[in-house]
Amino acid sequence: MSRKYFGTDGVRGRVGEHPITPQFVMQLGYAAGKVLAHAQHTEHPAVLIGKDTRISGYMLESALQAGLIAAGVDVYLAGPLPTPGVAYLTRALRLQAGIVISASHNPYYDNGIKFFSAQGSKLPDDIETAIEQELERGMSTHTYDELGKAKRLPDAAGRYIEFCKSTFPNELDLRALKIVVDCAHGATYQVASAVFHELGAEVITIGGQPNGININDGYGATAPRALQQAVLEQQADLGVALDGDGDRLIMVDNQGKLYDGDQLLYVIAKHRSNQGRLQGGVVGTLMTNLGFEHAMQRLDIPFLRAKVGDRYVTELLLQNGWQLGGENSGHILCLGQHSTGDGIISALQVMTALCASQKTLAEATADLTMYPQVLLNVRIKKGQDCLQHPAVKEVVTQSEARLAGRGRVLLRPSGTEPLLRVMVEGEDGILVEACAQRIADVIRGLVG
């Protein structure tokens, strides 16, 4: 059965439009409660609900809570808390699931619901499919003596802060660093700066005043110019940008230069390899820069590519017994420290490498050459399959021949919009741009 509502990261959409309505979210809560109770063989399961700072979170939290209680599920309410914080507390409290109300890096008028298993990882596809099947059966209510209960979870933020700090080596501290932390006016506003401050750093916070509608607006990992400017103005050593729900990381060095997920993953992987602490290899995605793959080859580190999406990176890591992986967008997986991607913990792993080696970000990435990469989004007709058209296959073959083994071409449909994403990368930036534009033009010609 193909999934109707769940994408690669839960259920997401525009608030007030199906499926992000209070009616549907209540039904979703009920269906999830029924499935989780059956899957866990638990008569009275309990779940944790956390959220980011969007104004719609109040409404959706109440709706979700009502559906779960109607299904006989107890609910713990954490309030605003980063997505990885919900994953951690779900596991630490031995709950049946964790639920996050967030649309991550999207604007405030979007929102979503994503689930974590009892182990603190994304739900497997079969459980999400079972929830969708339960949705089709409709909603009822348990008898009055079988209803769930709800209560606030005290000091959820404090517990998560201590967990983050525990992932940083005891023999190191951040006392020599001045750090600017950009919380994107999102879920990390109560916790991120505290983590780095309590480890010794001098911390300047930006993007830390949420008002319900300013999440990700000009701040955070998807809008890093404010961080770059603040680092230069404050003469800071590092800048840390998180996204609205705290699972994505971008960093800035003392010169205002940006470092994406591939570059930060390289710093961690190289340091662990040099220390003999890298377990197995590294997992990237189809979008991981080719320069990163070549760098892993030079370091004799095994490298594999997963489908785009941190859940698929996690799956491939677990299949191989590895611990380190990520996406160039800033989702970094350090499974030795946490069961899911965590922007704060990933930043601490980068800082561990820098502090231990006494290097700057520029020095730690000096031997990593990132190849020019062009990504074009081409609008197509809904349901149109351009990938199999002879003209598209031909232009892709021609482009790959022109790149002559020193680049690659990737075409993939968007999971949420009628778009075909055209990605070309290689050593020659001018050639890469020309190939990408040529492929896009052929696709536009087919669409008319």
pLDDT per position as a tens digit, 378-393: 999 888 889 999 999 9
Torsion of CA 10, 16, 19, 20, to 10 degrees: 30
Strands 324-326 and 303-306: unpaired
How many C-beta neighbours within 10 Å does residue 135 have?
20
Assigned CATH for 259-364: 3.40.120.10
Mean pLDDT of the chain: 95
Q: What are the Cα distances from residue 371, in Å, to 268, 289, 351, 397?
A: 20, 7, 25, 20
* Catalytic option among 56, 62, 102, 104: 104
| Two tokens, residue 443 | 């696709």
Q: What is the pLDDT of residue 142?
A: 86
Percent of the residues in the chain that have a pLDDT greater than 70, as a whole number? 98
1 has a pLDDT exceeding 60: no
The answer to whether the beta carbons of residues 160 and 191 sit under 8 Å apart is yes
Q: What is the pLDDT of residue 74?
A: 95
Task: Tell me whether the CATH fold assigned to 163-258 matches the one assigned to 259-364.
Answer: yes
CA distance 162 to 378: 45
415 has a pLDDT exceeding 80: no
- Dump the DSSP string for 91-149: HHTT-SEEEEE--TTS-TTEEEEEEE-TTSSBPPHHHHHHHHHHHHT------GGG---
Domain 373-447 annotated CATH 3.40.50.720: no
Report the candidate in 359, 159, 330 with the shortest Cα–Cα distance to residue 260. 330
- What single letter denotes the amino acid at residue 85? G
| Residue 56 phi, psi (nearest 5) | -70, -10
pLDDT band with cut points at 50, 70 and 90 for residue 232: very high
3 has a pLDDT exceeding 80: no
Summarize the confidence of residues 350-376 as an average pLDDT. 97
Q: Largest Cα–Cα distance in the chain?
A: 70
pLDDT tens for 149-163 read 999 999 999 999 999
pLDDT tens for 316-338 read 999 999 999 999 999 999 999 99
Fold of 11-155: Alpha-D-Glucose-1,6-Bisphosphate; Chain A, domain 3 (3.40.120)
Domain coordinates in residue numbering, the chain: 11-155, 163-258, 259-364, 373-447
Q: In what order do the strands lie in the sheet with 46-51?
A: 11-14, 110-116, 97-101, 46-51, 74-80, 150-152
pLDDT band with cut points at 50, 70 and 90 for residue 110: very high
CA distance 296 to 220: 29
Asked if 104 is an active-site residue, the reply is: yes
- What's the DSSP call for residue 150? E
CA distance 230 to 187: 20
The answer to whether the beta carbons of residues 76 and 153 sit under 8 Å apart is yes
Q: What is the pLDDT of residue 41?
A: 64
Residues in the chain: 448
Q: What is the pLDDT of residue 38?
A: 67
Task: For the chain, state the CA radius of gyration.
Answer: 22
Summarize the confidence of residues 74-100 as an average pLDDT. 97
Q: What is the pLDDT of residue 305?
A: 97
CA distance 393 to 387: 7
Q: Which of 57-66, 268-277, 411-420 has the lowest mean pLDDT?
A: 411-420
231 has a pLDDT exceeding 90: yes
| Two tokens, residue 24 | 């549907």
Fold of 163-258: Alpha-D-Glucose-1,6-Bisphosphate; Chain A, domain 3 (3.40.120)
| This prediction's pTM | 0.93
Q: What is the pLDDT of residue 372?
A: 96
39 has a pLDDT exceeding 80: no
Q: Give the distance from CA 86 to its chain's centroid.
A: 14
pLDDT tens for 254-299 read 999 999 999 999 999 999 999 999 999 999 999 999 999 999 999 9
